[in-house]
Amino acid sequence: MFDKSAIAETYIVQSGDNLSKISNKYETSVEKIVNLNKLLSTVIEPGQYLEIPDTYIVSEGDTLYKISNKLGVSIPELLEANPTIENPNWIYLEQIINAPIKNEMIYMGNPSKKRIALTFDDGPEDIYTPQILEILKQKGVKATFFVIGERAKKYPEQLRQIYKKGHAIGNHTWDHPHLPELTDQQFNKNIQSTTAEIEKIIGFKPDLFRPPYGEIEDRQVAMLNKQGYRSIMWTADTKDWSGVYAEEILSRVKQDTRPGVIVLQHNYHASGQFETVKALPQIIDELRAQGYEFVTVPTLLGK
């Protein structure tokens, strides 16, 4: 809390609550609550504690410059956190301003449109990746692939196909390490070598990053932010890597379906049962029948 005009609260989820009700109560957005609380699912339970994003109430004589100083953020950061401010020179008394979330990781995107982003981790490779690309082509769907550097080097043509077909590409490290165990030097080398390999193959430098296992230190997120990366997590986990059947994968996605959700799947599996390819057409058909549009992560984020 910065001063008497800044509001920060903790909310205990009540029976019958959902994210929309809570966001409306506090005049904030669903994705800000999700991202601040690092929710890996849109399903919330009674008794669960949620932090409510900081807001600032405009008082007489305030300007964005003054507010940015009070909150300790830059004006561009303030504007990014408040897309409804169309004219930076015009704010009004008692207007509610969202304070930016420091070192933000993105778990879901803008929920104002009925859109969902499908994402695939750990490729490319030459078994599941071609099948997934063919399904996406047949269904007219664009997705986002978070690629491993050493696999991109081994399967450059598959990476080219992903890019050629119009899908978004993100950095998923060189060799899938546990990031909290790395030194800053090791961390930077791992990320930079992967980006360099991707850029060498397709001529494109990704600005999306996903940490292996979804585990990363705040200081590492801050380092990525300074280098221009956006750290992307998920709000619907299919658990497809665990050998679950296609029906379970579909059920998990449907459980968390809501506008703005990011779905985690994989396009690499070492051995054993892996039914992502079988589940994918069902996911697309069922959610599309509900009126959902499938977009890439950058499109979901509005950038």
Q: Which two tokens stand for residue 190?
A: 């791992």
Pick from 245, 189, 199, 198: nearest CA to 220: 189
Q: Which of 172, 176, 266, 269 is catalytic?
A: 266
Angle (CA) 300-302-303 rounded to 5° is: 110
Rounded alpha-carbon distances, angstroms, from residue 46 to 15, 52, 214: 5, 16, 25
Could you confirm whether 121 is annotated as catalytic? yes
Q: Which residues contact 162 (CB under 8 A, 6 or more apart)?
A: 123, 124, 129, 133, 145, 147, 169
- The CB-side HSE value for 189 (13 A sphere, CA atoms) comes to 6
Distance of alpha carbon 223 from alpha carbon 138, whole angstroms = 39
Distance of alpha carbon 301 from alpha carbon 274, whole angstroms = 29
Q: Which residues contact 87 (CB under 8 A, 6 or more apart)?
A: none
Helix (H) and strand (E) counts in the chain: 12, 11
Q: Which two tokens stand for residue 141?
A: 């769907």
Could you confirm whether 184 is annotated as catalytic? no
Q: Which of 121, 122, 240, 256 is catalytic?
A: 121
Q: Which residues are catalytic?
A: 121, 266
